[in-house]
Amino acid sequence: MTIFFTSDLHLGHANIIRFCDRPFDGVGHMNARLAELWNETVSDEDTVWVLGDVALGSLDDSLSWIGRLAGRKILVPGNHDRCWAGDRELRKGTAEARAARRDRARSRYLAAGFAEIHDEPGRFPVAGTDAVVSHFPYTGDSHGEDRYVEHRPRDDGGWVLHGHVHDTWRQRARQLNVGVDAWGGRPVAVDRLADLIDHGPRDLAPLAWPDATGHGRP
């Protein structure tokens, strides 16, 4: 069994194709290719931690892809996930109304195929250290100024595995971006992340998306 990490699939999100220069001619093409790349990489015996922003657009359609993805899937919600604790719709009304709305949102993602949902950033052992696991990095954003500052993990001098920044970097110092836009559309195995940690803090650019033949684009 292998542990993988990924994030920011943005299934069903048409604008992400242009925003991140993804090599697809439409949402249907993107969804199918992301599923293909996932299932070429992950087996049913593996576990995949999805660090947020899994699906947008028509959520019933987008979430239906989760059940087609191999492995045991664990979600750490991001700002675009309807079950994210910081979602403004989940913070409206009375405490009872908020709790009921949140339970319904979580149930929707669990029914789609996630085995677990972890609301708060946690830690995961990688290369002899307990790395923070969060949708958000310590600092940095794909839209300029840092957003959602109150939801970001505190930098305690350790490493963080995160998403949110798309193709802004693959590694920035002690921040490892596991998003599909940094890893050629595929989940990344924990052993590869351990190698990066062993090499120490540095800056690395995203890997290229594969073209239709499976090769990385120039």
Cβ proximity of 107 and 80 under 8 Å: no
Domains of the chain: 3-204 (3.60.21.10)
Mean pLDDT over the full length of the chain: 92
pLDDT tier at 218, thresholds 50, 70, 90: very low
pLDDT above 70 for 146: yes
pLDDT above 60 for 17: yes
- 71-94 CB burial, b ≥16 within 10 A, e <16: bbbbbbbbbbbbbbbebeebeeee
Q: What is the average per-residue pLDDT within 33-42? A: 98
pLDDT above 60 for 1: yes
| Separation between Cα atoms, residue 101 and residue 105, nearest integer Å | 6
Cβ proximity of 182 and 169 under 8 Å: yes
Q: Does 42 or 143 have the greater pLDDT score? A: 42
Q: Does 148 or 133 have the greater pLDDT score? A: 133
pLDDT tens readout for residues 55-103: 998 999 999 999 999 999 999 999 999 999 877 766 666 777 777 788 8
For residue 14, the one-letter residue type is A
